[in-house]
Amino acid sequence: MVVLLKVARGDSVTGSRLGGDPPGVLAGHPVLDTHHYLFTLAAGTAPWQADREVSVLVRRGYAVGDPNDRHPDIALRAVLHSPSPRCARAPGAHPFLASRSLEAGAPGAPDPALIRIADEAHRVQWEESSVRPLLDAGLRFLFTFDEDGYPVDDDVVTEYQFGYGAVHFFGRLDADGLAVDVVAGFVENS
């Protein structure tokens, strides 16, 4: 199963979304004191989520070349949580991103997807040396956030946080195939 998400023209306070205010369930969470909100995958977008959303945040000040680009010391956090609309005026909005919805993309579409959920990663520079420690730790690949999927004819992004690269996410699943933990595995620069 492959699920592709692309950036929509409009915005939404619920569902899969990019940038803008973080989900209200994160209001008061200490992660917003140190990280900027990137995106949320709506509940049920992937079978390993069930009725939970996953929101991803990046540490403030992270830049390409930062040594914290590999698990376990990576500068990104993924938080599983109950479905929640955006929280108005909460800290944590990402300064480089416009607030937009994410919508389903079609396989084989000419524009690349921003998020690709699949059983295996699909990226040119995927290296065994980056993946092996994660697999050996009992994690499996879940999805990729790929900056190649930002629209080129829109003002969605003002600066590429990962140098026009990608972040690969992994997780630990329980006996029912549901994510117990979701982690950013590594950043891959183009």
pTM confidence score: 0.94
pLDDT tens digits, residue range 178-187? 999 999 999 9
pLDDT band at 120 (very low <50, low <70, confident <90, very high): confident
Instruction: Give the residue, 122 or 10, on which the prediction is more confident.
Output: 10
How far, in Å, CA of 52 to CA of 55, rounded?
10
Distance CA 22, CA 87 (A): 6
How many other CB atoms are found less than 10 A from the CB of residue 80?
19
For residues 156 and 51, the answer to whether their CB atoms sit within 8 Å is: no
The reported pLDDT for the residue numbered 144 is 95
Q: Cα–Cα distance between 30 and 80 in angstroms, integer?
A: 15
Q: What is the pLDDT of residue 123?
A: 64
CB 71 within 8 A of CB 170: yes
Residue 36 has pLDDT above 70, yes or no: yes
CA distance linking residue 8 with residue 100, whole number of Å: 6
**Per-residue confidence (pLDDT) for residue 174, from 0 to 100:** 97
Task: Give Cα 8 distance to the centre of its chain.
Answer: 16
Strand, coil or helix: what is 136?
helix
| Statement: residue 124 has pLDDT above 60 | no
